[in-house]
Amino acid sequence: MKNVLVLMSVEDRHRKKIEAAGEGCRFVYSSPDEVTDREIQEANVIMGQVDATRILASEQLELLQLESAGTDAYIVPGVLNSKTILTNATGAYNQAVAEHAFALTMMLIKKLHLYRDDQRNALWNDRGTVSSLADSTVAVVGLGDIGQHYASLVKAMGAYVIGVKRRASDPPECVDELIMTSDLDRVFPRADVIMSILPNTAATRYIYKPESFERMKDSAVFINCGRGNAVASDVLYQALKEKQIACAGIDVTEIEPLPADSPLWDLENLVITPHISGGHHLPATFERIVEICAYNLSAWLNGRPLKNEVDFTTGYKK
Amino acid sequence: MKNVLVLMSVEDRHRKKIEAAGEGCRFVYSSPDEVTDREIQEANVIMGQVDATRILASEQLELLQLESAGTDAYIVPGVLNSKTILTNATGAYNQAVAEHAFALTMMLIKKLHLYRDDQRNALWNDRGTVSSLADSTVAVVGLGDIGQHYASLVKAMGAYVIGVKRRASDPPECVDELIMTSDLDRVFPRADVIMSILPNTAATRYIYKPESFERMKDSAVFINCGRGNAVASDVLYQALKEKQIACAGIDVTEIEPLPADSPLWDLENLVITPHISGGHHLPATFERIVEICAYNLSAWLNGRPLKNEVDFTTGYKK
C-alpha cells in the first residue's frame, strides 16, 4: 500500500477526486508548515510544496508532485533520490500568469500606471501618446505553456509575435516567427514588447545583461513574470533610470520580497507586483492543479506516462 | 468654388490627401484657436473642431466634418443651420478608445491599481484573488463602433458578451446576446463587467442611477469611456465608497476636468484617466480621421452618400 501525503489546502471535492485516482492508497493530509519529518520520510507520494531541505533524498519517495510550476528548490543535488519522479503543475498556471503578464502589458502601453500616480495627486494631466499591440512586435522569451498562452492573447490583439525558445521546432500557431534563445540578441532591436517567462536554470540566470537593454528600442516595454534572477536588479534599474527602454512590469525580483530600500520601488517607469501572478490568485488555477495531481497519481499507479515530468538536469519538462 | 476650412494639425501628406479629394476647392488652413470669424462665416466646408458658439447657424456652411466622435456641442439648436450636414469622425477612435477601456478592465480585474499604490509605499503585499475575463460576463452598453470593437477584444479573452443597444437588430458577431437599452436594468445583476460607451444625449444623461449600482454584483467592475454625465459623480462615489460594486475605471467625469477637491480622486477602488482614451493619443487615430475627411469631402462634392452623418435630433449616426 502506497502512502500519499497531500500538503495542499484541499476541500472535500478535491479529496474525492484525488482519492478516486489513488484507489487502495493510504492518504495523509497536512500542510507544509504542520507536516512532521516522519510523515515526509514515510511518504511514497507527496503532493504539494514540501520544504526541500526536509526530503533528505528519501528512498521511500517515489513521486513528488509539486503544486508549483517552478522546480528550482527540488532539482538541487541531494534533495531528491535519483529514483524519485518529479512532476510539477505547469499548465495549471498558464491562464493566471499569462493574463497577469498581459494585463501588465496593456497597463504599460496605455500609461495607466502614470495616470494612477497622477490620480493620487488629484492631477488631470495628459501623458501624451500611447501605443497599440495591433502595431507592435512582441517577443515572448520562453515558449512553454505560459508563454504560448500569453502569445495567443497578444496575437488576438493584433500583435506580430516572435517566440523565443531553446530548441528548434515548428512554430506553434500562436507565434508568427520562431527564434532560438541563442539568437536572443537579434530579437532585442526588433521588439516593442519583450515578455520574459523563463524558468530559473543555469542557462537563464542573468540572461538579460546591460548590453541587452542597450540593444532594445528606447520605446520598448519589458515584462518579467518568470524568475527574478533573469535580470540583476541593478541592471534593470540602470536601464530604466537611463531610459534605455520606456518601461517595465515585473512580477518577480532578483531578491524576494524586494527589500524596502530597493531603488526599484521608486521608478516611475517600472510597475512591480509581488510575485502574485500565479499562486491561487485565480480560483481556476487550483482546480487545474488538483486535476493534474489526480491524473498523475492514477497514471503512476497504473504505469502510464505522467504529465509534466521534470528533468533534474535542466529543470524543464522531459 | 467651395471654400474648405481645415482646422486640424495636418502634415503635408494629410493636405495632399484632402486636397486630392476636394479638387477645385479653395483650401484655408488654420486652427481652432487662430481661425477668424470671417474664415468661419465664409466656409462652405469646415473640417475639425470649430468653436460651436462661433458658427452662428452660418448659411454658407454646408458640411461640418468634425474631428471628434462626440457631437454634443453642435446639435444644440441654433448652432447649425438646418441645411448643414454634420458628420463626425466616429470609427477613427474605435481602436484607441476600445483598447483604453479594455486596458482599464484588465488593470482592474488583476488589481494592478492596488499593486501600483502598494509600490508607491514600497509594500510587497498580496492583494488576494483576481478574476479572469474567461470566466466573466461583460455587458457593453452602447454598441456603436467603439462598443463593438471593445466587445471583440473581451470576447477574444473568452468573455461572454451581452451587447446593449437602443434598437433591435441581429446581434453582431462580437456579442453573444443582445438586449435593448430599455431593459438595461435586467443586465446589471448578470454582469461581471459593465462597460459604458454611450454618447451624450437626452436619453443617456444620468442613465446610471443609485438603483443601478444597487442591482449590480458586489464584485462588478464598472467602466465608463463614453460621456461623464451618464452617471452623476456623487452617485458613482456612493456606489464605490459603500462597495456596492468592486471597482470602476473612468476616462470621463460629470464635470471635466474633475475638480481637484472631488472626493473621487481618493477612492482606492476607482481609476481615473483624464479623458485621454480618444484624441490623438494613438497615432493611428489621426490617420483614420484624415481618411474620413477625404472620403466625405469627395462624396459630398460628387453627391454620393456620406459616412457618419449625424442626426441632429438624436446625436446618433443617421
Q: What is the ipTM of this complex?
A: 0.88
Query: What per-residue confidence (pLDDT) applies to B70?
Result: 84
For residue A21, pLDDT over 90 is answered with yes
Mean model confidence pLDDT for chain A: 95
What's A79's DSSP letter?
Answer: T
Per-residue pLDDT band at A6 (split at 50, 70, 90): very high
- Domain annotation covers residue B116: yes
B238 and B138 share a domain? Answer: yes
| B162 vs B156: CA distance, rounded Å | 14
Task: Note down the domain range covering A171.
Answer: 94-272
CB contact under 8 A, B274 and A125: yes
- % chain A with pLDDT above 90: 90
Q: Which of A275, A280, A288, A309 is catalytic?
A: A275
CB contact at 8 A, B99 and B197: no
B242 and B259 share a domain? Answer: yes
- Domain annotation covers residue A240: yes
pLDDT tens per residue across span A40-72: 999 999 999 999 999 999 999 999 999 998 898
Strands B45-47 and B3-6: parallel
For residue A147, pLDDT over 90 is answered with yes
Mean pLDDT in residue range B33-55 = 97
Which residues of chain A lie closer than 8 angstroms to B284, CB-CB?
132, 134-135
Q: Which of A113, A149, A227, A254 is catalytic?
A: A227
Using the structure block, give the residue that is written with the C-alpha cell 495531481: A293
Query: What per-residue confidence (pLDDT) applies to A312?
Result: 76
What three-state secondary structure class fits A208? strand
A228 and A151 share a domain? Answer: yes
Residue B215 annotated to the active site = no
pLDDT tens per residue across span A74-95: 999 999 999 999 999 988 999 9
For residue B315, pLDDT over 80 is answered with no
A237 and A296 share a domain? Answer: no
Per-residue pLDDT band at B234 (split at 50, 70, 90): very high
- Domain annotation covers residue B312: no
- Domain annotation covers residue B318: no
CB contact under 8 A, B282 and A106: no
CB contact under 8 A, B119 and A271: yes
CB contact under 8 A, B128 and A95: no
For residue A316, pLDDT over 70 is answered with no
A136 and A251 share a domain? Answer: yes
CB contact at 8 A, A130 and A106: no
B190 and B221 share a domain? Answer: yes
Helices (H), chain A: 12-21, 37-42, 94-109, 112-120, 145-156, 184-187, 210-215, 233-241, 283-301
CB contact under 8 A, A115 and B271: yes
Strands B45-47 and B26-29: unpaired
pLDDT tens per residue across span B46-80: 999 999 999 999 999 999 999 998 898 999 999 99
Query: What per-residue confidence (pLDDT) applies to A91?
Result: 87
What three-state secondary structure class fits B40? helix
Number of domains in chain A: 2
CB contact at 8 A, B242 and B220: no
What's A170's DSSP letter?
Answer: P
A43 and A164 share a domain? Answer: no
Using the structure block, give the residue that is written with the C-alpha cell 508563454: A147
Strand ranges across the sheet with B85-87:
B26-29, B3-6, B45-47, B63-65, B85-87
Q: Which of B59, B256, B268, B304 is catalytic?
A: B256
Q: CA A11 from chain center: how many Å? A: 25
Which residues of chain B lie closer than 8 angstroms to A113, CB-CB?
112, 116
Q: And the C-alpha cell for B99?
A: 483598447
For residue A318, pLDDT over 90 is answered with no
- Domain annotation covers residue A217: yes
Per-residue pLDDT band at A315 (split at 50, 70, 90): low
Reported as type and span, the H/E element at residue B298 is: helix B283-301
Residue A227 annotated to the active site = yes
pLDDT tens per residue across span A157-195: 999 999 999 998 888 999 999 999 999 999 999 999 999
Residue B252, domain CATH: 3.40.50.720
CB-neighbour burial class of residue B136 (10 A; exposed 0-12, middle 13-18, buried 19+): buried
B160 and B248 share a domain? Answer: yes
B193 and B236 share a domain? Answer: yes
Mean pLDDT in residue range A254-261 = 97
Query: What per-residue confidence (pLDDT) applies to B264?
Result: 98
How many residues would you count in chain A?
318
Taking the CA atoms of residue A88, residue A90, residue A96 and residue A98 in that order, the dihedral angle to the nearest 10 degrees is 140
For residue B316, pLDDT over 80 is answered with no
B84 and B98 share a domain? Answer: no
Task: Give the residue from chain A lying closest to B155, CA to CA.
Answer: A156
A87 and A100 share a domain? Answer: no
- Domain annotation covers residue A204: yes
Per-residue pLDDT band at B201 (split at 50, 70, 90): confident
Q: How far is A295 from chain B (nearest CA, A)?
A: 24
Radius of gyration of chain B (CA): 21
Task: Give the residue from chain B lying closest to A268, CA to CA.
Answer: B120
Count of CB atoms within 10 A of residue A259's CB? 14
A268 and A216 share a domain? Answer: yes
- Domain annotation covers residue A317: no
Taking the CA atoms of residue B152, residue B310, residue B165 and residue B236 in that order, the dihedral angle to the nearest 10 degrees is 90
For residue A317, pLDDT over 80 is answered with no
Residue A59 annotated to the active site = no
CB pairs below 8 Å between A and B: how many? 141
A167-176, B235-244, B245-254: the lowest-pLDDT one: A167-176
- Domain annotation covers residue B315: no
Query: What per-residue confidence (pLDDT) applies to B199?
Result: 85
Mean pLDDT in residue range B118-122 = 98
Q: Which of B275, B280, B287, B309 is catalytic?
A: B275
Query: What per-residue confidence (pLDDT) applies to B126?
Result: 97
